[in-house]
Amino acid sequence: MASSTTDGESATARAKLHGRAFYESIGSPKFVLAPMVDQSEFAWRMLTRSFMTPAENSKLLAYTPMFHARLFEEAPKYRSSHFEATKPDPSTSGAVVSNPASAPTNSDQIPQTVPFLDGNPMFDRPLFVQFCANDPEHLLAAAKLAAPYCDAVDLNLGCPQGIARKGHYGAFLQEDQELVFKLINNLHKNLPIPVTAKIRILETKEDTLAYAKNVLAAGASIITVHGRRREQKGHLTGVADWEYLRYLRENLPKETVIFANGNILQHGDIERCLEATGADAVMSAEGNLSDPAIFAEPPPPGQEGREYWRGKDGKGGYRVDAVFRRYMDIIHKYVLQHEPPARRPLFIVGDDETWLAEGKAQDAEQEEGPARKKRKKDGGGGGKNEKCTSPNLVAIRPHLFHLLRHFISKHTDVRDALARCHIADVPAVEKVLDMVERRIAEGLIEYERTGGKSIEEPEPEPKVRESTAPAEALKTESAEDADFDPESSVATVKKCKRPWWIAQPIIRPLPKEALANGSISLGKKEKKKQGLAAKAAAEGDVNEASEKENKGLEEELPKPDGVAGIKEPTMDSKRPTLAADELVCG
C-alpha cells in the first residue's frame, strides 16, 4: 500500500468536517456494512454494493475489517496483505512507498502509483477504516497511513474475544474511560479526517450513556452502538437490546449521529430498527454475510428475473448460485484484473436441461478430487509453494461456507468439494460454483414438479407462554407474530426460513436453548454449584433451593471467555446446522 498519491493528497486536503456536517457530506448513509474480522474486505463490499441501485448505493457506507494499529504501522507485510489501496503505475516501475517519511527526497525517484482496490474513489466510497489499539501514538501513526484512502477512521471498542482481553483492546478498554478518551481525542486533534467509534452497551442504560458521552466529548463524529454486552458472544449472543439505543437517542444531543447494530437478519429488520431506536443508520454484520443483498429493496412480484426467486407462498430471496456468480465475477474483474469467464444464463424452469446430465461426470471427478500430496505440492491454483497474501482471495472459502450454510447442510458433497479447494485456487472454486448451479437447477425442477412440496419439512411449534418481559422490550422483536416467545428462536427460524437455494440468515439458538440442546455445557464451577444446591435441597433446605430455582436459568448460565469453563463448540460434519461461534463483528 502506498501512502502518497495525488488523489490521496487531494482527499485529505479538504476541509475537515465534524459530526452531522460530516455525516451529511458523505450522503447521510442509511445502510452500513459492518467491520468484520477478515470478512468485510474489498470484494465483499463490492458484492454488497452490486445489489443496490445507484440511489441506494449513495446511502451505503462500508467499513474495512478491523486492523491492528501497531502492526499496520510497523509491518509493511501486514499492511500490504490487508489493505490494497494502490498499485504501481503500469507506465512506470519500482516498488510502492509504504511510508511517506521514508520516500526519497528527489521527487523523480518516488515510484508512481495509481488507485487499486481499497478506498478507490471510483467504486469503494464512502469507506471507514477500523483499527483496534491501546496506544494513542501507534493508533495515530496507523491512521495517518490509511487516511488518504478513506473518509474516516474508526476505533474498535466492541471486540469481546479472549484475544482482545489479552491484548487489552476492543471491549476490554471500556473500564478505562481515560484511555478511551485519549485514543479518540489524539486522532480528533491530529488526523486530517474525522474519527468515529464503535462500542457495546454496558450493564445499565445510565452507564452506557456516560460511556457514549465520553466518546463524543473526545471528538468522535459518529458513534455506533452494538446493543449487546461484552459477554454476549458465541452461543451466549442472545438478542440485542434496542431499548438501550432508544435511550441514547433520547438523552444525547439531537445532532449526535448514531448507528444501530444488532438483530438485523433480513431487509425488513432495517426499518424496524430505525423506528425502534431512532438511529440515523443501521449496521449489519452476520446478516450481510448470509445475504449480501440484505440492504437492497427486493424486486416487486413479476420482476424477479433469473437471480431472485419467489415461492408459491410469496416469500423469496436471491438465489445463492446468483450471489456466488456475482462474487466470483468481482474476484475476476477487480482482484485478478481480467474478464470473468463466459457463463450460460442462470437456469430457470423451462430452460434446456441437457447440460445437467453432462455435468454429472464432472461431479464425480470433483468429489474424488486430486491427491492431497499433489495438491500440496502444486499449491492449488496459486503456483508452486506460492503463499497467497491477497485478503480478497484468502476470504473466498470462509465467505462461501457462510453463504452456502443451508445449502451444504443438504448437499454435503458440495461442502466437501469446497473444503478441498486450496486458498486462492479460483479454478477449483469455479468448479464448486458449477456444482452449486446444477444442484439448484435440479431443486427448482423438483419444486415445480411437486407443486412446492419438495421443500416441505416438519416445523417445530413455538412454545406459547405468558412473557414476563415488559411490552417495550418486545418491540425489538417480531411483536406482530402471535407465537413470538422472547426466550425461543423458533418463531424467528420460522419467519426467516427459505428453501435451501436462497440466501438466508443463520439463526443462533438463544442461550437457554443452547444450554438445553447441548450446544454449550456448564463448566466445573457451575456443575459444582448445582451439586451443592441439590445437596442443600436433599438435606431439607427447601427454601434456599426454591429461591435459587426462582432466580431463573440466566443465573445458572456460565460466564463467557472460560471464566467458568464454558465450552462453545464450532461447526462439525455431525452438526452441520450449528451456528459458528467465531466473532465477525465487535
Confirm if 117 and 99 have CB atoms less than 8 A apart. no
pLDDT above 50 (res 106): no
- pLDDT interval class at 578 (50, 70, 90): very low
Q: Supply the pLDDT for residue 433.
A: 98
Mean pLDDT, to the nearest integer, of 531-558? 49
Mean pLDDT, to the nearest integer, of 316-335? 98
Helices 320-330 and 42-50, interaxial angle, to 10°? 130
Q: Supply the pLDDT for residue 383.
A: 44
Q: How many CB atoms are closer than 10 A to CB 481?
A: 13
Q: Which residue has the higher pLDDT, 4 or 372?
A: 372
CA distance to 330, 524, 532, 538, 540, per residue, from 535 (Å):
62, 16, 5, 5, 9
Residue recorded with cell 434496542: 242
In the set 150, 159, 273, 388, the catalytic residue is 159
Q: CA-CA distance, 561 to 161, in Å (whole number)?
A: 8
pLDDT digits (tens, 9 = 90+) for 129-171: 999 999 999 999 999 999 999 999 999 999 998 889 999 999 9
H helix intervals, 424-467: 426-449
CA distance to 320, 348, 352, 408, 517, per residue, from 444 (Å):
13, 7, 13, 16, 33
**C-alpha dihedral, 37 to 388 to 366 to 417, nearest 10°:** -20
- Please list the helix, strand and coil fractions of the chain in percent, rounded to the nearest 5, in that order: 45, 10, 45
- pLDDT interval class at 488 (50, 70, 90): confident
- pLDDT interval class at 517 (50, 70, 90): confident
Q: CA-CA distance, 1 to 99, in Å (whole number)?
A: 9
Lowest model confidence (mean pLDDT) among 54-63, 77-86, 479-488: 479-488
Gyration radius from the chain CA atoms? 25
H helix intervals, 193-285: 205-218, 242-251, 268-277
Query: Residue type for 395, please?
Result: A
Q: Quick one: cell of 307?
A: 437471480
H helix intervals, 147-229: 162-167, 177-190, 205-218
Confirm if 47 and 15 have CB atoms less than 8 A apart. no
- pLDDT interval class at 551 (50, 70, 90): very low
Say if residue 460 is preceded by a cis peptide, omega within 30 of 0. Answer: no
Q: Supply the pLDDT for residue 475.
A: 41
Lowest model confidence (mean pLDDT) among 29-33, 169-173, 469-473, 531-535: 469-473
Q: CA-CA distance, 569 to 317, in Å (whole number)?
A: 30
Cβ-count burial 138-169 (b if 16+ within 10 Å, e if not): bbbbbbbbbbbbbbbbbbbbbbbbeebeebeb
End-to-end CA distance of the chain: 26
Residue recorded with cell 461447526: 571
Question: Is 302 exposed, middle or buried (CB count within 10 Å of its CB: 0-12, 13-18, 19+)?
Answer: exposed
Q: CA-CA distance, 492 to 509, in Å (whole number)?
A: 10
Q: Which residue has the higher pLDDT, 255 or 14?
A: 255
Mean pLDDT, to the nearest integer, of 188-210? 98
Q: Are strands 31-33 and 152-157 parallel, antiparallel or unpaired?
A: unpaired
Q: CA-CA distance, 320 to 439, in Å (whole number)?
A: 11
Q: Supply the pLDDT for residue 457.
A: 81
pLDDT digits (tens, 9 = 90+) for 420-440: 999 999 999 999 999 999 999
Q: CA-CA distance, 482 to 292, in Å (whole number)?
A: 29
Backbone CA torsion sign across 469, 470, 476, 482: positive
Q: Supply the pLDDT for residue 507.
A: 87
Mean pLDDT, to the nearest integer, of 52-60? 93
Q: Supply the pLDDT for residue 83.
A: 98
CA distance to 431, 438, 440, per residue, from 445 (Å):
22, 11, 9
Q: Supply the pLDDT for residue 511.
A: 72
Phi-psi region of 120 (alpha: psi -120 to 50; beta: other; left: phi over 0): beta
Most confident of 277-291, 508-522, 540-554: 277-291
In eight-state DSSP terms, residue 415 is: H
Q: What average pLDDT does the chain have?
A: 82
Q: Supply the pLDDT for residue 506.
A: 92
Q: CA-CA distance, 60 to 439, in Å (whole number)?
A: 33
Q: Supply the pLDDT for residue 192.
A: 98
What percent of the chain has a predicted confidence (pLDDT) above 70?
73
Q: CA-CA distance, 401 to 407, in Å (whole number)?
A: 9
Q: How many CB atoms are closer than 10 A to CB 85?
A: 29
Q: Supply the pLDDT for residue 513.
A: 73
Confirm if 503 and 293 have CB atoms less than 8 A apart. yes
193 alpha carbon, distance to own chain's centre = 25
- pLDDT interval class at 533 (50, 70, 90): low
What percent of the chain has a predicted confidence (pLDDT) above 90?
65
Q: Quick one: cell of 56?
A: 441506494
Q: CA-CA distance, 322 to 308, in Å (whole number)?
A: 8
User: Is 132 part of the annotated catalytic residue set?
Assistant: no
Confirm if 220 and 255 have CB atoms less than 8 A apart. no
Q: Which residue has the higher pLDDT, 440 or 509?
A: 440
Q: Supply the pLDDT for residue 90.
A: 83
Q: How many CB atoms are closer than 10 A to CB 338?
A: 8
- pLDDT interval class at 567 (50, 70, 90): very low
Rounded to the nearest 5 degrees, what angle is found at the Cα of 188, between the Cα atoms of 186 and 189?
70
69 alpha carbon, distance to own chain's centre = 20
Query: Residue type for 213, please?
Result: K
pLDDT above 80 (res 549): no
Q: Supply the pLDDT for residue 264.
A: 96
Q: How many CB atoms are closer than 10 A to CB 419?
A: 13
Lowest model confidence (mean pLDDT) among 148-152, 331-335, 399-403, 560-564: 560-564
pLDDT digits (tens, 9 = 90+) for 354-388: 999 887 766 666 555 544 444 444 434 444 446 78
Q: CA-CA distance, 586 to 584, in Å (whole number)?
A: 7
pLDDT above 80 (res 492): yes
Cross-strand bridge partners of residue 200:
226
The set of residues, in sequence order, having a beta carbon less than 8 Å from that of 79 and lying 6+ positions away, is 1, 71, 72, 98, 145
- pLDDT interval class at 569 (50, 70, 90): very low
pLDDT above 80 (res 585): no
pLDDT digits (tens, 9 = 90+) for 119-129: 999 999 999 99
